[in-house]
Amino acid sequence: MTWLNPIVGLKRDNASHTYWLDQTPFPVSVTGVLRIQKSDYAMAQIQATTAIWAPRGNNTHRALELFLRSRNQDRLQSGRLSNRPDVTALVSELDSLRHGEHTDWIEPLLALDLWSDVTPIAAERATCCLTRRVAGTYDLAYDGPHGRTLADLKTLGPNGRTYCVRAQLGGYMALEATHGIHYDAAHAIWAAPGRAHLGELYSRRECLLAWAAVWTQWKARYRPF
């Protein structure tokens, strides 16, 4: 299986987490829809701790992306509008992150047995649905023992607790289905200082049902389009 090609024309502004397909903007992302589940207090707490979790999350996610891309260059297809990345540059940036501030999160993550048991097909993949006008980016996908599987990386603090991610995973599945890409299962990968583990494996049906419930709730309240 080859690496999934990017969706031509789909762009993301990382600072604002907004997306466009050619000149068409997307009013909301999967993450934006999921905020309907959070209280004002929870959102305030998230905003108040951004300086802690954002650098940790960004560095750990970037390290995983570089790790997967550098190890799978023989199958990676770059798409029509970009060139194949320089492996030396990928490895150099990865090495810097592995010896940086968040090495306690990164090293256990990259040491997971998962990486020798599966065939990655995507990393930090942006996707969208023009019908719902929703976009989003999921962290990785692979072919493995449970079929084609979508996964999303979550970073936790020293005392962090895991939480349900079915709706988020289902959102990405729903967007990708509009491009003819179907997943059999999905799970989170939890990274914390000194440890990393795979979350519960969810079926396609579980994820899509969870997403449908959240999407219906969000659409009923906002109905922007």
pLDDT digits 0-9 by tens, 19-57: 999 988 999 999 999 999 877 776 777 677 777 788 999
Range of 101's domain?
Answer: 10-222
- Does 34 fall in a domain? yes
- Measure the CA–CA gap between 87 and 212, rounded to whole angstroms: 40
- Does 151 fall in a domain? yes
Total domains in the fold of the chain:
1
CB neighbourhood size of 190 (10 A):
20
pLDDT at 178 over 80: yes
Residue 82: the pLDDT is 47
- Does 50 fall in a domain? yes
Residue 1: the pLDDT is 64
Residue 54: the pLDDT is 87
- Does 37 fall in a domain? yes
pLDDT at 73 over 80: no
- Does 87 fall in a domain? yes
Q: Tell me what the mean pLDDT of segment 81-106 comes to.
A: 85
Mean pLDDT, the chain, as a whole number? 91
Phi, psi torsion values for 147, nearest 5 degrees: 90, -160
pLDDT band per the 50, 70, 90 thresholds, residue 81: very low
Question: Please, are residues 130 and 21 in contact by the beta-carbon 8 Å criterion?
Answer: yes
- Does 35 fall in a domain? yes
What's the distance, Cα to Cα, between the start and end of the chain in Å? 37
**44 or 186, which is more confident?**
186
Q: Tell me what the mean pLDDT of segment 86-106 comes to.
A: 93
CA distances from 17 to 68, 80, 129, 146 (A): 23, 23, 16, 31
- Does 52 fall in a domain? yes
- Does 1 fall in a domain? no
pLDDT at 79 over 50: no
